[in-house]
Chain A
Amino acid sequence: MRSMRLGLALAAVGSVLLAACGGGNNAGGGATNEADVTGTIRAANWGGNPTENSLVKKYEADFMAKYPKIKVTQEEIPDHFEDKIKTEMSANNEPDAMYVSTALMNFAAPNGRLLDLNPLMSKWGVSADEFIPTLMTPWQLSGKQYALPKDFGDLVLFYNKSMFSAAGLQTPTSWDDIKSAAKTLTKGSVKGLSLPADAARFDAFLFGYGGQVLSSDKNKAVFNDQKSQDALTFYSSFQLQDKSSDLPDKLGATWPGDAFGKQKAAMVIEGGWLIPYMHDTYPSVSYGSIKLPKFPVKESSLLFTNGWGCSAKTKNQDACMLFVKYMTGKVVQQQVLQSGFALPSRKDLGTDPAITSNPDVKNLFDSASFATAWTFGPHESKINDAQNNAIQSVLLGKSDVKSALDKAVADANSALSGG
């Protein structure tokens, strides 16, 4: 009896202690119930686009309505997002939650400046399986998950329907069709196509021809082999041999989409961002899209993705994780999808009517199955500079394909080896 009473007493004391501990941990981030998590977090997004910025503001207000104990202050960084975050990180004054681009991931994660989300994901019930697998890998480094994908974009071919029907052309289905249509549609100051000197377009061709930017161990640049040369030869043949393509700025446009809207180019290779842009800026242009036709080796497209992540130094890890969970969750991504800005990174939205009822959006969403994530590690800015310079020097007629790519690979390798 006595010992039992003692045991009960000890248990009672113990439970009080536990409760005290639990109470104490609430403030420090030990809450186990979502509704008990408290804290203030600063959340940074880039805001070059006012519409996107106001959408983020709305989602954050929705989040605070759902979690009244968590306060979110939006920090909009209009331009040079990574530069700003980098200086804030070096001053130990970075926001708690932030957009994570692949560029940000590449300098912040290896330096331990981003929070590994894996433990928090299991704590707050987020599973990696909810997301499209190719969109999760850019945020992974040595078994850690540094961000969750908030959306993605990829590339398809957009064509001007009225220009095609005026010339009596059918919807293209192969690169031969595109090549001959581009020639037919080139008249005066109008070109059939506008291919920019940009690795973020050309690399779709490179991968489709069986080429690679980096070796499999990612330590060497290899984009000067025969396959890569063939890809660049084909990419530049529109402008150099056929004269059926030109750089956007030569067409009086700031980017290919602008040339497409001004009807100075009948076809462009762009992503989902073109859809709201055309709707807002050039509503009268009627256009359609096709998935990029199969290249000689395989089908190919490029995948661009951004995520939400947390600073490794945040004092409110749980609040930040709940915020990331909400911003990459179904409710927000469904609204993103309906706004037309980007495609959802979640598997469960693949059958959403906003995708299945719009052929352009469906082309974009389906292309993700064969698209390659466009990211090349910590030195990607130098690697992309080298690629862009090679494409530009070929398109401007300053260099032949082989010597341009050889030089670019040498430049990229000197960056990779720390020179």
Chain B
Amino acid sequence: MAVSVAPKASAATAKVNRRSKGGGMAIAQRRAGLLFVTPYILFFLLLQLAAFAFAIWVSFHHYDLLALDNPFVGLRNYARLTVNEDFLIALRNTTEYAVVVVILQTAFALLLAVLLNSKIKGRNFFRTTWYTPSVASSVVISMIFLYVYHPTGLLNSILGLVGIHTTEAYLQSTTWALPAIMFLNVWTTAPTFMLMFLAALQDIPKEIYEASSVDGASAARKLFSITIPLLRPIIFLVVSLGIIGAFQIFDQAFIMTKGGPLKATLTVALLIYDNLFVDTGAVGVACAEAIVLGIIIFALTLISRRVIDTKIEY
């Protein structure tokens, strides 16, 4: 008990000390600090918080962009979602997509990071090239993959070289369209997360590995007993960023498949867009969908924090 209280007390005294030493200085600093954050706070209040509040308000109304009168309808927009077939399809597709993408990209990113952290030749070359997909815009990547997945495109040409001759049109197939977009996303986002893992890996003290070597631990044992446990906070970060990104999947599906074929790649974000712009007068429904999506992402992030981000024990 006494041990845990002591540092807190010393921190408090340190704070008091600093304040009593140069009061004017601290006020000036605080003022400067406020000045620096003001633009962002304004931006946040006006463009994010206000928009968010407005979306909540709209979700309780029958709202048409062009109508003058938008009556209050209570929870009707939300109630409709539970029986809206499109929303349920979109939710299923998005969940499927998120589960596969988050697991694969986290594993893949960790693998790449561990490889690059070992002392292999040409490390800097690999670091640069593997990161390239994350630098390009998702729109550009999607256009490139339209060619890759084309019936006579790159993927089928490569398959042809190894003796599998097919003219499968992946993006027009109800079986392959969603996996095709999943793969593309894993490929583009994994390198970003690889960088995060790489930074975290370099923070792990070498002494721990040396000590485990002395104890005769194998490489696999080191990975599962030292590396992964010590990376927990960063794994939490990667998984939650992954969940947030995956549930918001829009551009790839919008550019490559428009949600088709037969709604096989219809995602929640795509449905929100459709309700907002394509269907007249469904803005209230679109906002209700957006709020539900936001709640889902928030809840999943909290759960992943519970599961992953527990206390680090050496």
Contacts and interface: CB of A to CB of B under 8 A. Distances in A.
Interface in B60-74: 64-67
Contacts of A419: 80
A398 B167 CA distance: 20
B133 to A, nearest CB: 25
Contacts of B64: 111
Interface stretch (A36-44, A86-94, A126-134, A339-347): A86-94
A90 B172 contact: no
Contacts of B167: 189, 250, 252
A388 to B, nearest CB: 8
Interface in B140-191: 150-152, 167, 169, 171-172, 174
Interface string A81-99: 0110011011000000000
Given A87-B65, A249-B172, A389-B263, A381 B151 contact: no
Interface in A188-206: 189
Nearest to A251: B151
B262 A389 contact: yes
Chain A interface helix/strand/loop/mixed:
helix
A151 to B, nearest CB: 25
Nearest to A83: B277
A113 interface: yes
B260 A107 contact: no
Contact of B260 (A83, A392, A398): A392
Contacts of A252: 150-152, 167
B174 A378 contact: no
A86 B278 CA distance: 10
B312 to A, nearest CB: 49
Contacts of B67: 111
A82 B261 CA distance: 23
B280 interface: yes
A107 B280 contact: yes
A382 interface: yes
A233 interface: no
Contacts of B279: 379, 381-382, 415
Interface string B259-295: 0111100000000000001111000000000000000
Contact of A392 (B65, B151, B262): B262
B66 A113 contact: yes
Contacts of A274: none
B66 A107 contact: yes
A86 B277 contact: yes
Contacts of A415: 279
Contacts of B280: 106-107, 378-379
B248 to A, nearest CB: 19
A247 B172 contact: yes
Contacts of A382: 279
Nearest to B84: A419
Contact of B262 (A90, A381, A393, A411): A393
Nearest to B151: A252
A108 interface: yes
A108 B67 CA distance: 10
Q: Which residue, A249, A411, A415, has most C-beta atoms of chain B within 10 A?
A: A249
Interface string A374-398: 0000110110000001001100101
A106 B66 CA distance: 12
Nearest to A87: B65
A382 B151 CA distance: 29
A89 B65 contact: yes
A250 B169 contact: yes
Contacts of B85: 411
27 contacts: A80-B277, A86-B65, A86-B66, A86-B277, A90-B65, A90-B66, A106-B280, A107-B66, A108-B66, A111-B64, A113-B66, A247-B169, A249-B169, A249-B171, A249-B172, A250-B151, A250-B169, A251-B151, A252-B151, A252-B167, A378-B280, A381-B279, A392-B261, A393-B262, A396-B174, A398-B262, A411-B85
Given A89-B66, A111-B66, 14 more contacts: A82-B277, A83-B278, A86-B66, A106-B280, A111-B67, A247-B169, A249-B171, A250-B151, A252-B150, A252-B152, A378-B280, A389-B263, A392-B260, A411-B85
Q: Closest 7 interchain pairs by CB?
A: A90-B65, A111-B66, A83-B277, A107-B280, A249-B172, A252-B152, A381-B278
